[in-house]
Chain A
């Protein structure tokens, strides 16, 4: 079974540009999460999809971030325009409904974003 895959693994862009990160969850997992780790600090929750619906987006930092999950399969996280403080590692995680109740998430390797 393929794990959670994220693309790109590393992106370097200039301030003001746009970047789109993609996450392919484990097949059959309804729950999809985005997390972010900035500058060696804690990994912080961004948002949660159940299938194609946003269940909780309380962690999204501002309206420069847009997450979508069309068709309830893969998800994208777009940052537009990117700012220096957006640099960090963006993690995607997924779980099936039962696993979601216990907090057991399956994480991707992360997408490292560097904004210059």
Chain B
């Protein structure tokens, strides 16, 4: 079956530091890959996505590249801010057929950014 593995947290950084959160996946075929973020007191929201190999998703200064050869989708940001403190979830979806919106999530990584 499908699975997603994220780096263990929590991650604590100082403002303006570089961020990497590793994510690897196991899936048959060609899944779509996502990063969702949950800010304190809010629901999960889509941060970025990539639907095919070598695609790069980007949003709010975050980037992730779909690497089929390493089955990875690592999240990066060059300079984090205090407002980026949140829980980050890597996820995949088998688009099409009856699998619409059926996401497989990683365990989540808590990020705390200090001033």
* A interface residues, Cβ below 8 angstroms from B: 3-4, 31, 33, 35, 40-45, 48, 55-56, 91, 93, 95, 99-110
Contacts and interface: CB of A to CB of B under 8 A. Distances in A.
B107 A103 contact: no
Contact of B49 (A4, A35, A102): A102
The 4 A-B pairs with the shortest beta carbon distances in the complex, nearest first, are A103-B93, A100-B100, A107-B43, A107-B44
Contacts, number: 78
Interface of B: 4, 32, 34, 36, 41-46, 49, 51, 89, 91, 93, 95-96, 98-108
B49 A103 contact: yes
Given A103-B91, A107-B44, A43 B108 contact: yes
B46 to A, nearest CB: 5
A91 B44 CA distance: 9
B89 A56 contact: no
A63 to B, nearest CB: 21
B105 A44 contact: yes
Contacts of A56: 98-99, 102
